[in-house]
Amino acid sequence: MSDLEIADRLRRDGLRLYIGPFVTRIRVTLPGLAEHIRFLYTDTPLDDSDGLIDFDIKLGPPPGIRRWLGLGATVYVDDVMQFMPFDPAIAVPMFEWGINWCVFNRPHQYLILHAAVLERGGHAVIMPGPPGSGKSTLCAALSLRGWRLLSDEVAMIRPSDRMILPLPRPVGLKEESIEVIRRFEPSAFVSRPWPGTKKGTIAHMRMPPESVARAGEMASPAWIVCPKYTSGATSRFEPIHRSQAMLYAADDAFNYSLLARVGFETLADVVESCGCFEFTYDDLDAAVKAFDELVPTMSTPMEGVGA
C-alpha cells in the first residue's frame, strides 16, 4: 500500500491493523504521518473486515479553541481525549504512547506486566525494568540477533494457562540508545529521532518481520531477568530470589492489583516456573552472547535459580 493510500485510509475510515490479538483502528487527521506509520508497521497485517475493533485511536487537533487556532494535537481513544494537547512535531511518539495507553488500560483479561519479552525455542524471557535500566536497548539487540520479539513494553500473560501473548510493536529507543542500536546493527530499521518529548529524544525500531509473522504463537515463561545497564560492567547473571523477582514485577505491573487474587496467583505461578536473575551489562555483543549461552538450559527452566 502506498503512502497515499495509507494517508487516505487514515483520513477516512481508518487503517485497521492486527497488533497481536487486537484489531487497532487508527485515524489521523494530521498531515504527514502516513509515511511514518507505514515505516513502523510495514509488516503488520491489515484487517479489511468490518468486524469489531479492540483499540480505536485517533490523532487530531484538540477540541475547543485550540482546534480553530490550529494549535497542537492530541490522542483520542474511543473518541475521548486521553492526552493533554502536544506539539504535532512529536505526533509519532505520542501515537505510539496512545497504543500503549490502550494496552496498559484495556485488556484486563490478561495480567499485564511492564516488561520486555523475547523468546527462543518456545521459552520466553521476561525482562521487567524501570526507565534507564537498559531494558529496551537490550531487547532491541536481542531481537536483532535471533530472539523473537514478543513485546518491548508488556508481558501479557493469560491467567488460564500462564502463557504469554505476543504483541509485536516497534521498540522505543531513547537518547543515546538510538545511536547504540544503529551502530550495533546498521541494517536495523530505526526511525528518525523525535526530539522534544517528555522522555527526551525518541526513535522507534521496526520489529523484525519474523516477530510479526509469528504474532499468533504464544510462549511459555522460562526466566525473569531484571536488566541493569552499568557502564563498564561485565555481562553477568546474578541469581535473585523468586520473591524478589515477584515484587519487582508486581511493582511495575499495570493491572496486578486490579486482578487481585488472579493477578497474585498468576504471577506467583509464573515466578515459580522461571529462573530469576539480575543481569548487569554494558557491551551489547557480550550481553547477547551471555543470553545465547542460556539457551541449552532452556529445556530445564525449573533448574534455574530462585528456588
Partner 1 sequence: MTAETSQTTKWIACPPSELSWRDWGDVVVVYHHGSADTHQLTPLGAEAIRSLQAAPLTAAELRDRLSQVFEVESDQDLLRYLEQLMLRFDELGLVERAP
Question: Which residues form the interface with partner 1 (CB under 8 A)?
Answer: 241-244, 246-247, 250, 257, 260-261, 264-265, 268, 272, 307
Q: Which is nearer to partner 1, 210 or 265 (CB)?
A: 265
Phi, psi of 183 (to 5 degrees): -75, -40
Q: Which is nearer to partner 1, 179 or 251 (CB)?
A: 251
The 3-state DSSP class for residue 29 equals coil
Q: Which is nearer to partner 1, 69 or 258 (CB)?
A: 258
Residue 59 and residue 257: Cα distance in Å, rounded? 31
Report, in Å, the least distance between residue 256 CB and partner 1.
8
Report, in Å, the least distance between residue 208 CB and partner 1.
35
Report, in Å, the least distance between residue 258 CB and partner 1.
8
Report, in Å, the least distance between residue 259 CB and partner 1.
10
Name the E strands within 147-189.
148-151, 154-157, 164-165, 171-174
Q: Which is nearer to partner 1, 71 or 268 (CB)?
A: 268
Find cell 508488556 and name the residue.
154
Residue 206 and residue 6: Cα distance in Å, rounded? 18
Residue 264 and residue 258: Cα distance in Å, rounded? 10
Report, in Å, the least distance between residue 264 CB and partner 1.
4
Residue 19 and residue 53: Cα distance in Å, rounded? 11
Residue 32 and residue 133: Cα distance in Å, rounded? 33
Sequence-distant (6+) residues with CB within 8 A of 281 are 134, 138, 227, 228, 229, 230, 233, 235, 236, 287, 290
CB-hemisphere CA count at 13 Å for 191? 29
**254-to-57, 71, 132, 223 alpha-carbon distances in Å:** 20, 32, 19, 20
Q: Which is nearer to partner 1, 29 or 160 (CB)?
A: 160
Q: Which amino acid is at 65?
A: I
Q: Which is nearer to partner 1, 8 or 272 (CB)?
A: 272
Report, in Å, the least distance between residue 227 CB and partner 1.
22
Q: Which is nearer to partner 1, 34 or 250 (CB)?
A: 250
* Rg of the chain taking only CA atoms, in angstroms: 19
Report, in Å, the least distance between residue 155 CB and partner 1.
17
